[in-house]
């Protein structure tokens, strides 16, 4: 049997356990702290003697148990303290409490789990630092403290870390100013107020002189180019600015104010500012206009100024409307509406066309009707009207319209001084106005517009309430359609047809001149007519041979042929959509042996002379090419001579799998560029092999161009494959070799022969066949990618079998033949050497042969 004492102890333990568990169920033990504080504005500025409000964003963290959400988990205190280091060591009697407003604060009832953070935004705090400088100077830190809120379900264990203090520092995020600036407007005046009329709905530019004063305890330093002050102008309804019932606010322009960066000493120091301007517009309707009674000037701290104001409540001075010198000018609420309606525009020219970039003289005339409410009297001095002329991209003149103003003016002043009564019609006319349409903007010129507005001299008392009808526009285009005239902006000249006569009998022999007769048709595919210009040809027509069916894609230049154009009427115009023919035009074609195997087209090209004033909008269709061949629609048969043995020895045979010969014409220029690129890259990496005796390479340069890649024979179709035999001409003064460190080093005769094949000083040099072979092999994949076909073999032409490389295999002589060739070559060299030795005098034997390059 259990003793009674033991039963009592067990009962007490059970009661204690229940109490503890009940306590734990009611709340968690946790530890919250403030991690960071940011503010809006980003700098916290507290000025002594003033109410300073700042909005904070406070980040808190939890190093204890999880905090569950409730209505108010967190509350905050804000205070300014006096302390040598932190919140706990502060002098408590010096605390200045701030007012904290949490009405708009976020996340006050949010969860906060262990190790996480929470942002409480929109914490609004208001501070009032003491005006006493001694008390203010004693303040050292701005602090924020977080505590559990009224609805919190947790207990705080470590209250020592619940605060975050920011020291006051003029260069830090919290600034304290115990001495302050207090700006006020001492006086201001409007320049020439007796001439100023503020019309309803009419902008009026005014100039102000403003004197401001510093009533604070701190001086303002000179800002050296930075504006210390800014100004606003108000028109208010009411007698006092603070009690105004309506306002119109106008920013000012201070760029012409020389002393805007000036400093002002404390205790009533002052400064005068002149040249402040703004545009004032009194709003309507009439009842609202009548309510506005005063014009006010406000001074505020410049955006980048280094000082801070205590208060802006006294920064404004207001004055009455009126014509006295102490007033700001007269206000008129009478809506004197003169509605100008422009009609009947006529534009007269001496020519139907407007050549681009050339001045064209025009005469204009227009009518103006007053459909407003009041009469406009005539003026004896100033003008009543302003007439402006524009070139535009639309028949509607507004802020979205692209305009080119016609600055030429030729109108009598008396026309601009006319009176116009309600319902009356008056006329304006201008003669010999110079209009120039620039080529680079001709796309944006579709109309000429004339606008009539009221002159500034009468705009104080009169207003045009409907500016949408004070202009009239007329379209450019054919005069036969009652338009102004044609602008040749969208002309598109193209070669629409090109044929050669008797192509079944025409043959072009390499190096020989061949007379031909051709027929050419030119068309205008544009939307604008091409006019006839005085003493100027509209076209240049050329005949060329190329290696591509598009002249602009050809890799060769200098292939101009002869075309007899003297008898052609090249000054003809072409209407939009029309064409002209040049038939039975004679010419001659000479295809040099160097390019005979390369060129594959005969082309005619038309271009616009440089100074002719029209625009050819599409120059990609200015040529037409036909292939060489004997069929009727081709250019005639081309006959090329076989290459000499030296060129053949410098040639490489490249065979492309499944490349049809009919596609070669479109692949010629691609092949030449790909081979040229391969040679350039190879030689930049193997400089001494490509440029022997030129020292070391000093720069990446080219050794060849696409036009240096020449065909040695016509491409040959071998089964499904295409056999290409080509060499690369070599210029010893090419940019790559010329960049070597040894420019004119002498070279031995055998060394030169091993690199270049040369017949005499006037004959073409060729790149070493070994270099060419290695370059093509090294860049095989790039060439294949450019051509779109796979190479089956790359063989030096001198090593190819007599029957060609129909299967892509290299020539492999029998071993006995190699021995015979070596023995014969040795015997020939020995015999020639003996003959030279015996023929030379004794003193000239054992020579060393050199050639200088």
Helices (H), 91-183: 133-138
Question: Which tokens sit at 568?
Answer: 């052609």
Instruction: Answer yes or no: are the C-beta atoms of 437 and 445 closer than 8 Å.
Output: yes
Backbone phi and psi for residue 538, each to the nearest 5 degrees, phi listed first: -85, -15
pLDDT in tens, 660-708: 988 888 888 899 999 999 999 999 999 989 998 888 888 999 999 998 9
pLDDT in tens, 96-144: 899 999 999 999 888 999 999 999 999 999 988 888 888 888 899 999 9
Residue 17 has pLDDT above 60, yes or no: no
Backbone phi and psi for residue 677, each to the nearest 5 degrees, phi listed first: -65, -40
Residue 227, C-beta contacts closer than 8 angstroms, at least 6 positions apart: 254, 260, 261, 302, 303, 304, 305
Q: Residue 344: left if φ>0, alpha if ψ -120 to 50, beta else—which one?
A: left
Give me the pLDDT at residue 11, please: 59
Distances 773 to 603, 688, 690 between C-alpha atoms, Å? 33, 16, 12
Residue 813 has pLDDT above 50, yes or no: no
Strand 507-509 and strand 637-639: the pairing is parallel
What is the residue-averaged pLDDT of the chain?
A: 84
Give me the pLDDT at residue 4, please: 61
Give me the pLDDT at residue 445, please: 93
Distances 674 to 27, 440, 598, 669, 775 between C-alpha atoms, Å? 82, 37, 15, 9, 11
Distance CA 562, CA 248 (A): 78
Question: Which tokens sit at 307?
Answer: 């000082």
Per-residue buried b or exposed e for 349-369, using 16+ beta carbons within 10 Å of the residue's own CB: eeeebbbbeeebebebebbbb
pLDDT bucket at 496, cuts 50 / 70 / 90? very high
Q: What is the CA radius of gyration of the chain?
A: 47
Instruction: Give the mean pLDDT of 473-501.
Output: 93
Give me the pLDDT at residue 511, please: 83
Distance CA 500, CA 604 (A): 11
Give me the pLDDT at residue 761, please: 45
pLDDT in tens, 786-797: 999 999 999 998
Sign of CA dihedral 728, 729, 734, 735: negative
**Which of 820, 843, 847 has the alpha carbon at shortest distance from 833?**
847
Start-to-end Cα distance in the chain: 129
pLDDT in tens, 618-630: 988 999 999 988 7
pLDDT in tens, 28-68: 677 788 888 888 778 888 888 888 889 999 999 988 888 88
Give me the pLDDT at residue 322, please: 82
Residue 757 has pLDDT above 70, yes or no: no
Q: Could you tell me where the beta strands, DSSP code E, fall in 694-753? A: 709-711, 716-718, 721-728, 746-748
Residue in the structure block whose two tokens are 């022999």: 509
pLDDT bucket at 490, cuts 50 / 70 / 90? very high
pLDDT bucket at 558, cuts 50 / 70 / 90? very low
Give me the pLDDT at residue 326, please: 79
Strand 32-40 and strand 163-167: the pairing is unpaired
Give me the pLDDT at residue 750, please: 43
Distance CA 259, CA 228 (A): 9
Give me the pLDDT at residue 746, please: 47
Question: Which tokens sit at 693?
Answer: 């005796």
Residue in the structure block whose two tokens are 């002498």: 746
Of the listed ranges 528-532, 557-561, 731-735, the one predicted with least confidence: 557-561
For residues 776 and 194, the model is more confident at: 776
Distance CA 136, CA 84 (A): 15
* Maximum distance among all Cα pairs of the chain, rounded to whole angstroms: 150
Residue 88 has pLDDT above 70, yes or no: yes
Residue in the structure block whose two tokens are 């210009």: 533
Residue 16 has pLDDT above 70, yes or no: no
Count of CA atoms in the C-beta half-sphere (13 A) of 8: 3
Instruction: Give the mean pLDDT of 423-428.
Output: 92
Question: Which tokens sit at 104?
Answer: 């708009």
Residue 158 has pLDDT above 70, yes or no: yes
Instruction: Give the mean pLDDT of 768-783.
Output: 93
Instruction: Give the mean pLDDT of 827-841.
Output: 57
Residue 806 has pLDDT above 60, yes or no: no
pLDDT in tens, 320-372: 988 777 789 888 777 678 889 999 999 999 888 899 999 999 999 999 999 88
For residues 824 and 142, the model is more confident at: 142
Residue 633 has pLDDT above 90, yes or no: no
Instruction: Give the mean pLDDT of 413-426.
Output: 90
Distance CA 56, CA 44 (A): 9
pLDDT in tens, 219-234: 999 999 899 999 999 9
Residue in the structure block whose two tokens are 């598109």: 492
Instruction: Answer yes or no: are the C-beta atoms of 482 and 563 closer than 8 Å.
Output: no
Q: What angle do CA 540, 541, 546 make, to 5 degrees?
A: 125
Instruction: Answer yes or no: are the C-beta atoms of 270 and 264 closer than 8 Å.
Output: yes
Give me the pLDDT at residue 8, please: 61
What string of DSSP letters covers 763-777?
Answer: SPPB--HHHHHHHHH
Residue 100, C-beta contacts closer than 8 angstroms, at least 6 positions apart: 76, 77, 78, 123, 124, 125
Share of the chain above pLDDT 70, in %: 87
**Which of 796, 680, 774, 778 has the alpha carbon at shortest distance from 730?**
680
**Which of 27, 109, 119 has the alpha carbon at shortest distance from 71?**
109
Give me the pLDDT at residue 160, please: 82
pLDDT bucket at 744, cuts 50 / 70 / 90? low
């Amino acid at each position: 049997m259990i003793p009674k004492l033991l039963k009592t102890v067990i009962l007490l333990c059970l009661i204690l356990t229940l109490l503890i568990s009940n306590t734990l169920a009611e709340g968690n033990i946790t530890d919250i702290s403030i991690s960071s504080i940011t503010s809006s504005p980003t700098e916290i500025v507290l000025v002594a003697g003033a109410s300073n409000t700042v909005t904070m964003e406070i980040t808190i963290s939890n190093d204890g148990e999880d905090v569950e959400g409730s209505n108010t988990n967190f509350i905050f205190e804000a205070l300014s303290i006096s302390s040598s280091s932190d919140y706990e060591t502060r002098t408590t009697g010096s605390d200045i409490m701030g007012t904290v407003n949490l009405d708009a604060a976020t996340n006050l009832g949010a969860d906060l789990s262990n190790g996480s953070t929470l942002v409480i935004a929109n914490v609004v705090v208001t501070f009032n630092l003491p005006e006493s400088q001694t008390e203010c100077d004693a303040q050292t830190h701005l602090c924020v403290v977080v505590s559990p809120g009224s609805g919190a379900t947790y207990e705080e264990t470590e209250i020592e870390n619940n605060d975050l203090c920011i020291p006051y520092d003029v260069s830090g995020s919290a600034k304290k100013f115990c001495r302050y600036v207090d700006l006020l407007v001492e006086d201001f005046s409007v320049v020439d107020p007796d001439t100023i009329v503020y019309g309803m709905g009419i902008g009026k530019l005014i100039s102000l002189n403003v004197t401001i004063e510093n009533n604070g305890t701190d001086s303002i330093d000179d800002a050296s180019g930075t504006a210390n002050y800014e100004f606003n102008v108000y028109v208010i309804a009411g007698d006092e600015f603070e009690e105004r019932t309506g306002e119109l606010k106008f920013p000012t322009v201070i760029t012409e104010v020389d002393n805007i960066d000036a400093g002002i000493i404390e205790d009533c120091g002052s400064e005068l500012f002149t040249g402040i301007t703004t545009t004032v517009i009194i709003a309507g309707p009439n009842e609202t206009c009548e309510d506005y009674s005063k014009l006010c000037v406000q001074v505020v701290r410049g955006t980048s100024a280094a000082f801070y104001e205590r208060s802006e409540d006294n920064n404004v001075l207001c004055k009455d409307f009126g014509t006295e010198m102490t007033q700001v000018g007269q206000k008129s609420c009478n809506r004197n509406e003169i509605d100008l309606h422009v009609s009947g525009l006529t534009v007269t020219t001496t020519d139907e066309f407007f050549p681009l970039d050339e001045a064209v003289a025009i005469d204009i005339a227009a009518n103006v009707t007053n459909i407003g409410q009041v009469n406009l009297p005539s003026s004896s001095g100033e003008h009543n009207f302003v007439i402006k002329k524009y070139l535009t991209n639309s028949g509607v003149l507004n802020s979205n319209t692209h305009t080119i103003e016609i600055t030429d003016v030729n109108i009598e002043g008396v026309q601009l001084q006319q009176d116009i009564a309600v319902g009356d019609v008056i006329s304006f006319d201008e003669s010999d106005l110079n209009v120039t349409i620039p080529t680079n903007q001709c796309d944006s010129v579709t109309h000429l517009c004339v606008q009539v507005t009221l002159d500034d001299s009468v705009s104080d008392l009169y207003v045009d309430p409907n500016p949408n009808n004070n202009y009239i526009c007329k379209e450019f285009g054919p005069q036969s359609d009652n338009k102004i005239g044609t602008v040749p902006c969208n002309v598109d000249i193209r070669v629409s047809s090109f044929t050669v006569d008797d192509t079944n009998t025409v043959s072009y022999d390499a190096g020989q001149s061949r007379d031909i007769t051709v027929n050419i048709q030119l068309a205008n595919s544009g939307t604008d007519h091409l006019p006839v210009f005085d003493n100027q040809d509209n076209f240049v027509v050329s005949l060329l041979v190329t290696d591509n069916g598009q002249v602009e894609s050809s890799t060769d230049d200098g292939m101009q042929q002869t075309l007899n154009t003297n008898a052609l009427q090249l000054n003809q115009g072409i209407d939009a959509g029309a064409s002209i023919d040049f038939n039975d035009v004679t010419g001659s074609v000479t295809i040099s042996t160097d390019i005979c195997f390369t060129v594959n087209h005969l082309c005619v090209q038309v271009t616009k002379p440089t100074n002719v004033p029209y625009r050819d909008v599409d120059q990609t269709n200015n040529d037409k090419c036909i292939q060489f061949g004997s069929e009727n629609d081709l250019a005639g048969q081309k006959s090329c001579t076989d290459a000499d043995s030296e060129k053949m020895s410098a040639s490489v045979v490249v065979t492309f799998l499944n490349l049809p010969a009919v596609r070669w014409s479109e692949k010629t220029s691609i092949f030449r560029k790909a081979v040229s690129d391969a040679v350039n890259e190879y030689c930049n990496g193997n400089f001494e092999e490509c440029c022997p005796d030129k020292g070391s390479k000093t720069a990446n340069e080219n050794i060849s161009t696409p036009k240096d890649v020449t065909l040695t024979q016509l491409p040959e179709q071998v089964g499904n494959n295409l056999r290409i035999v080509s060499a690369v001409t070599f210029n010893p003064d090419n940019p790559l070799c010329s960049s070597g460190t040894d420019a004119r080093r002498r070279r031995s005769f055998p060394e030169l022969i091993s690199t270049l094949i040369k017949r005499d000083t006037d004959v073409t040099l060729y790149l070493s066949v070994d270099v060419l072979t290695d370059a093509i092999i090294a860049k095989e994949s790039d060439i294949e990618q450019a051509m779109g076909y796979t190479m089956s073999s790359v063989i030096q032409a001198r090593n190819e079998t007599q029957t060609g490389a129909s299967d892509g295999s290299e020539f492999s002589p029998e071993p006995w033949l190699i021995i015979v060739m070596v023995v014969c070559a040795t015997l020939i060299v020995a015999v020639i050497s003996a003959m030279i030795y015996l023929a030379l005098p004794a003193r000239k034997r054992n020579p060393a042969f050199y050639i200088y390059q």
